[in-house]
Each structure stands twice: as structure tokens, then as C-alpha cells.
Amino acid sequence: MNTDDKLKPLREQIDAIDAQILDLLNRRARVAQEVGHIKAETNAPVFRPEREAQVLRKVAERNPGPLDGGDVQTIFREIMSSCRALERRVAVAYLGPTGTFTEQAVYQQFGHAIEGISCASIDEIFRSVEAGTADFGVVPIENSSEGAINRTLDLLLQTTLSISGELSIPVHHSLMTKSGTMDGVTRICAHSQALAQCQVWLNQNYPNIERQAVASNGEAARIASEDPTAAAIAGEIAGQRYNLGIVKAHVQDDPHNRTRFAVVGRLQPAPSGKDQTSLVLAVPNKAGAVYNLLAPLSKHGVSMTRFESRPARIGTWEYYFYVDVEGHAQDEKVAAALAELKQNAAFFKLLGSYPFSL
Amino acid sequence: MNTDDKLKPLREQIDAIDAQILDLLNRRARVAQEVGHIKAETNAPVFRPEREAQVLRKVAERNPGPLDGGDVQTIFREIMSSCRALERRVAVAYLGPTGTFTEQAVYQQFGHAIEGISCASIDEIFRSVEAGTADFGVVPIENSSEGAINRTLDLLLQTTLSISGELSIPVHHSLMTKSGTMDGVTRICAHSQALAQCQVWLNQNYPNIERQAVASNGEAARIASEDPTAAAIAGEIAGQRYNLGIVKAHVQDDPHNRTRFAVVGRLQPAPSGKDQTSLVLAVPNKAGAVYNLLAPLSKHGVSMTRFESRPARIGTWEYYFYVDVEGHAQDEKVAAALAELKQNAAFFKLLGSYPFSL
């Protein structure tokens, strides 16, 4: 019996299973349509991030294998996306150009059955969601090699929108030069964090070339584009912008270098059971007051997952503190802690509560 | 009864359906593993494009709705991708940087459960597949606004690899300038096809600004980067490369502007029932011989879906003819036509037969 003869009965089994899956998918879609009708009566939102997060967690928990849990979530994200599209394709604004990794972030959050709106700037993303042209915006908020995206933080301070989700996607660094080779290169430039992230690889491959920390990886790419004795470590998109050639792709030691994105919208998600809350605080005097300011969190047993201070570029305060805590603002202990925080702070803005990133 | 109370029983139905889908997905995966064991005994390939094309066609045909047929195919592409990953994640080389639309083309063909290999050039993609580092390569072959990608055509002429699939993805044009505004702009540059594709929009918005056809949209972007009186119409990635600001995104009249990609590999797909065959031909004298050369196609009732002649840059012939025909090289009438074509042609290379793009 040849291979194809052996495979035939198995393929017939797969076809039969596929027919059942297809039937179930459409049964699911019909129930989702009923959900849509009820939502339409009350103007309830089409996209409920907390509900989708719950479904994705449940399938990963229930998944008996052999399929990989993450792969199963990818499948269910597309299932929910296409069911949602029967009501309406959610419009999502993101930082263009079309076809870059920010668009991939959109698909990772919303699946493919959406309407993507490519924007030229982070400001335009906020504007198009505030104006109702888009239902949601996906904005970069932090790069694990270059820190916070300041423009996003500034706009979060001013906007009427809430954060309704967050996600992160992998980012790769490459070693690049004007010529695409290391001939004549005497220094390697990058942001200090990027240099640190590539040090094992650099020690193995270019132990004797000087490393120079510069303001950002984008700046490193600019330098390399003007100076043939300089190499840059940067994302390949920055390299393309400055017409650099790739000496070696993916040189970071940690393959898990990521960019974090926030989803912004008019929606305020209900608790999903595993949530995160983002807020911004300010106090008149940085040195003395920060510790006291945060005391209510530990008092009420609320874990802080992120704390970042930055000099104010807008508003009246010297510093703003961007804080993420575990839990939803409607959770009892989080609500108690936030109420106290608000009393102590000179400035307090709740950016949003949303499902904890998967 | 409030909305959430009304939705509860429907959500319980959805959860029950999801549990059944999850069960079926893993049953499918177990059968796919058996398929993998049999394939491993005979070194049969993990990825069978003809088989996957058949599955996708079948689900679209069988799909009773309400789900959209294309959305259902997206779901099943991910299902097959994750089942395939249980045997091995197929390694696919593509034109970097990571995160550009060429990577999206890879996901569109193979789903997300693969190992992507970002390459710096089209040559490197061919090399990495020829060397076995990658199982497949995805190379751009034709852009609907700028025509054939010559480097890919040259490499197809030389390679030992076959075309095992093709796909296309949408491409958007934007109006861009150095300043990001139209202040002082006296001409709009682009490839003539891109100008034609945007003419309705240009007539409405900039009827009095001169339009200038240049060699490519990339060249238009370069001109705009050096001359503040010139605007360019080009893809946003080209605009980024030359540091242009976006005046207006998505200005093409036809939202279906696309780039075509070929999948290359060592694999030669079996017939899927709806296939296409690509070949390259040459004859000593262009003017006289082309019509006669192609006569066997009409004689055997084989439809030609694409015909492109280009001046030879390599090899001994003046022109090469890139021809796509309907059907698989193993189909009786295609086989007969190809045998005669081969006799008449001074140069004949079968590039591959593969499932017709969905």
C-alpha cells in the first residue's frame, strides 16, 4: 500500500471532522447573531474585550491537547472575530504604514475580520477614535529596548478615551550598516538597552569593536546612514528608513524583546476575572510624597505591576507617575485603594481597567 | 431583565459549542498526527499545498452561513497550521524586515503556526530554501502598479526550486511629501500605472497640479525626498524609507491594488483539482515565432492566464516569455500541450504546478 492509500482513510476522517467543525462554527455564529440583536436593542457594544478574554482563557484551560494552547487561542480569536463581523466589522485605527508590525498588533487583538484604519501619527489615532471614525485605536506604549513612547503617554493624560486592552508583540534587532558589511566599521551604535540585550552575541562576534550608546536605536540608524565607520543595532524598519544594509538579522540575545501596545476606545470593559488597571498620578513634591502616595495599594493588598515616573511636558505637575495595578477598578479592594489614592494625589486619572494581557 | 441577564443563556450556549469545537479540533489534531507518522515513514512532506487548498475550497463550498466564506477559510487556515505544527513548524523564508506586508503574505499562505525566517534580499530567500535552511520561500513576483519584480524572474530562471503556490495581498498608495503638506507642491510624481490608479481621486482633489510619470513609485519617493515642490504617490513603506510625511493615505481609486507572491520550494504539489502551471519559454527570433510557439495551448484547449515577455538579462536568448496556464502539468491536456511547447521552444523551463490562488 503506498502512502496515499494509507492516508486516504485518515483524510476522510479529517474531512468528516471538518464538516462537524464547520457546522458548529455556523451554529455559534447564529447564537452570536442573537446576542447581537439583544445588544442592538440596548446599544450595547459589539466588542466586549472582557468576554473575549474569558473565552480565550477558557479554551486554553480546557484544551486537552495535543494542540498547543496558544495555537488554539489563535484559532478562537479568528472564530470570535468572524462571528463579531456578522454584527459589524469593528473599525480599528493603528499607526501606519499598512503592513507594519502595528497592524499585526491589531490582528493579534481583534482577529482579521475587522476594518483597519491606517493613521499617520499617534495623535491621529486618538483623534479618529475620539471623533468616532474608529471604534478603537491601538497605540504603542512601551518598547522593551527603548522605554516609554512619550507621545502616547502625553495623549493618555488628555484624552477622554479609556484603555480597554493591552498586548505586546515581539520585536527584533538587526546589525546594520550603510554598506551591508562590517568592512571599515570601528563602532557599533545603539540605545544602551539594545546594546545590553545583544551583548552575548556582540562578545562572540565583534568583541573588539567599540560599542557606543546613543539616544535611541533610530538615532543609531541615522548615524550609520551618515558614517560608514558606524554600525547600528536597530529594528529593520528603522534600517529601511535610513537605507541601511543588514549585516545580520535577529542579533538580540533575548528572543522575547517586545513592544507593548494599549487599546484605546470609548468602551470601559467590565471585570473579566483577571484584569489590570492603569492610572496616572501626580504629587506636588516628588521626593517626599511618592512613597506615601502609594501606601494605599499595599494597605489594601493590591499589587503594582508597573511604575514609571516621567517629567511632565504638559499640565502643571513636575512629574507624572504611570501606574499599573492588578485587578479591576470595580474589584472591592482595588476600588478602596483607588479611592484613597485619589484623596492623596494632587492629580489622579484612571486610564482604564481591562483584561490582563494573555 | 437587563441585557446581561438576557445574554447569559446565549453565552452558555456559545460556551457549550466552544467546548465541542475544542474537542473536535483536538480530535482532528490526533488524526493529523497519525497522518504525520505515516508521512515520516516515507519522508513525505509535512506541508501539502494541494491538500490544504482542497480543504479550504471544501469548507467554503460547504459553508451554509451565516459566517462569511472567506472568514471561515481564515479559521481553517489556522486550524491546519496548528495541526501541521504538531509534526513540525514549517520554516518559511521571506523578504524582511519582520513586520512588513511580506510577512503577512507568509501568514496568509501558511497560517501563524510556522517559523518565519526574515531575509535581507530575494537572493537570500532563494539561497536559504536551496540550502535547506527554509522549507519554503515567499517571493514577490508582480506588483499590480509597477509590474514584474525582475530579480525574482531572473532567479526563477536559474533555480532548482519549483513554484508550489501563489497568493496576492492588497497594497495601498499614499500621497506623500517631504513636509507632509501640499504647500508649495507643483508636481505629483509616481509610476504611470499608479497615477492612472489614483486619477479619480487626483482629479477631485488636485486637478491643477501637474502629474509626472517616473520609473517607479520608489523613484517618486526619492524625488520627493530631495525636492520640496514634488509630491510622491507610493507605498507608505517607500515613504518611510525616504522620510516623507503622509499628506493623505489610501488615495488609489481601486482598493484592490495587489502584490502577487510566489511560494518556492523543493516540493512539487500534486494536482488539487484547480491548479495553475508556470513556465518560461524562449525562441531565437521574437517577432516571428511567438504566435507559433503558443499554438499548442489553444490546440489542446489550455487557457493562458498570464503572458509576459521580458528582455533577457541572463542566458543566451533575447527575450524570455513567462507564461501561466490553467491546469496541472499532470493533467492530460496540459501535459500534451507542454510536450509540444517544449519541442517548439529553444528554451523551456517548467517553474511548477500549484493550487490556483484562492
- What is the interface pTM, i.e. ipTM, of the complex? 0.72
Residue B275 to residues A301, B152, B326, B330, B340: CA-CA distances in angstroms?
63, 21, 6, 10, 20
User: Which residue range is the domain that position A287 belongs to?
Assistant: 269-358
The residues facing A322 across adjacent strands are A280, A308
Q: Report DSSP state, residue B271.
A: P
Sheet harboring A275-282: ordered strands across?
A304-311, A319-326, A275-282, A347-355
Sign of the dihedral through C-alpha B31, B33, B34, B35: positive
Of residues A81 and A288, more confidently modeled: A81
Residue A298 lies in a domain: yes
For residue B347, the distance in angstroms to the closest alpha carbon of chain A comes to 34
User: Are residues A245 and A183 located together in one domain of the fold?
Assistant: yes
What pLDDT score was predicted for residue B5? 87
Cα nearest neighbour of A246 on chain B: B120
How much is the pLDDT for B61?
93
B214 grid coordinates = 517616473
Known catalytic residues of B are 259, 261
Other C-beta atoms within 10 Å of A89: how many? 18
The answer to whether residue B262 is domain-embedded is no
Pair (B306, B283) in one structural domain:
yes
B65-83 average pLDDT score: 93
Q: List the CATH number of the domain containing A36.
A: 1.20.59.10
Calculate what percentage of chain B has a pLDDT beyond 70: 93
Of the pLDDT bands very low, low, confident and very high (cuts 50, 70, 90), residue B214 is: confident
Q: Please state the rounded mean pLDDT for residues B68-92.
A: 92
- From A51, which residue of chain B is nearest by alpha-carbon distance? B11
Report the b/e string of B48-75 with b at 16+ CB within 10 A.
Answer: bbbbbbbbbbebbeebeeebbeebbbbb
Supply angle C-alpha A71, B82, B96, rounded to 5: 85
pLDDT value at A235 more than 60: yes
Q: Is the pLDDT of residue B108 over 80?
A: yes
Choose one of B256, B281, B311: the last residue of a domain.
B256
> How confident is the model at residue A314, as a pLDDT?
65
Residues B273 and B346 in one domain: yes
The pLDDT of residue A307 is 82
Paired strand residues for B345: none
CA distance A140 to A106: 11
Q: How many CA atoms lie within 13 A of A180 on its CB side?
A: 7
Region label for A184, one of left (φ > 0), alpha (ψ between -120 and 50) or beta (otherwise): left
Give the pLDDT mean for A259-278: 92
Grouping H, G, I as helix, E, B as strand and the rest as coil, residue B349 is strand
Residues A210 and A232 reside in one and the same domain: yes
Least confident of A258-267, A312-321, B171-180, B336-345: A312-321
Q: CA B21, CA A78: separation in Å to the nearest integer?
A: 13
Whether A248 and A285 map to the same domain: the answer is no
Here the CATH number for the domain that contains residue B317 is 3.30.70.260
Residue A14: what pLDDT? 95
* Cell of residue A167, nine digits: 498586548
Annotation says A259 is catalytic: yes
Tell me: pLDDT of A55 over 90. yes
Of the candidate ranges A48-52, A190-194, B143-147, B214-218, the one whose mean pLDDT is the lowest: B143-147
pLDDT value for B179: 92
> Which of B13-22, B215-224, B306-315 has the least mean pLDDT?
B306-315
| CB-based contact B78 A82, cutoff 8 Å | no
Q: Is residue A156 in some structural domain?
A: no
The reply to whether B69 falls in a domain is: yes
CATH of residue B103's domain is 3.40.190.10
Q: What is the identity of the amino acid at A150?
A: N
Those of residues 45-104 in B touching chain A at CB distance below 8 A are 51, 55, 58-59, 62-68, 71-72, 74-76, 78-79, 81-83, 85-86, 96-101, 103-104
Whether the per-residue pLDDT at B79 is higher than 90: the answer is yes
- Evaluate if residue A240 carries a pLDDT over 80: no
What number is the average pLDDT over the span B122-143?
91
Domain annotation covers residue A130: no
Q: Is the residue at A138 inside a domain?
A: no
pLDDT (tens digit, 9 = 90+) per residue, B245-302? 889 888 887 666 678 899 999 989 999 999 999 999 988 765 556 777 788 998 898 9
Question: Mean pLDDT of all residues in chain A?
Answer: 87
**What is the C-alpha to C-alpha distance for residues B138 and B161, in angstroms, rounded to an integer?**
12
Averaged pLDDT of chain B: 87
Cell triple for B239: 515613504
Q: Does B85 score more than 80 pLDDT?
A: yes
pLDDT at A326: 92
A113 lies within 8 A of chain B by CB: yes
Q: Does A16 touch chain B (CB under 8 A)?
A: no
Q: A346 lies in a domain?
A: yes
Among candidate residues A87, A108, A123, the one where a domain is terminated: A87
Decide if pLDDT at B99 tops 60: no
Which amino acid is it at B69? G
Confidence class for position B234, pLDDT limits 50, 70, 90:
confident
Sorting pLDDT into bands at 50, 70 and 90, what band is A264?
very high
Chain B residue closest in CA terms to A41: B3
pLDDT at res. A68: 92
Q: Are residues A246 and A293 in the same domain?
A: no
Asked whether residue A243 falls in the same domain as residue A323, the answer is no
Q: Does A40 contact B at CB distance below 8 Å?
A: no
Q: What is the pLDDT of residue B294?
A: 82
Provide, as residue numbers in chain B, all residues whose Cβ is less than 8 Å from the Cβ of A226: none
Give the lowest-confidence range in A6-10, B212-216, B236-240, B347-351: B236-240
User: Which residue would you say has higher pLDDT here, A235 or B286?
Assistant: A235
What is the least distance, in Å, from the CA of B237 to any CA of chain A?
A: 6
Of B165, B215, B122, the residue nearest B328 (C-alpha): B165
Instruction: Determine the 3-state secondary structure of A251 from DSSP.
Output: coil
Q: Mean pLDDT over residues A321-329, rounded?
A: 92
Q: Which residues of B touch A249 (CB under 8 A)?
A: 96, 98, 118-120
Q: In the 8-state DSSP scheme, what is residue A337?
A: H
- Chain B, residues 204-243, CB within 8 A of chain A, namely 235-237, 239-241, 243
Report the pLDDT value the prediction gives residue A98, as an integer from 0 to 100: 58
Question: Which residue in chain B has the smallest CA separation from A19?
Answer: B59
Domain boundary pick from B228, B256, B284: B256
Pairing of strands B136-143, B258-265: antiparallel
Is B144 found in the same domain as B71? no
Q: How many domains is chain A partitioned into structurally?
A: 3
What is the distance in angstroms between the Cα of A7 and the nearest Cα belonging to chain B?
6
Per-residue confidence (pLDDT) for residue B97, from 0 to 100: 58
B136 assigned to some structural domain: yes
Please report the pLDDT score of residue B46 as a whole number: 83
- Can you give the pLDDT at residue A15? 94
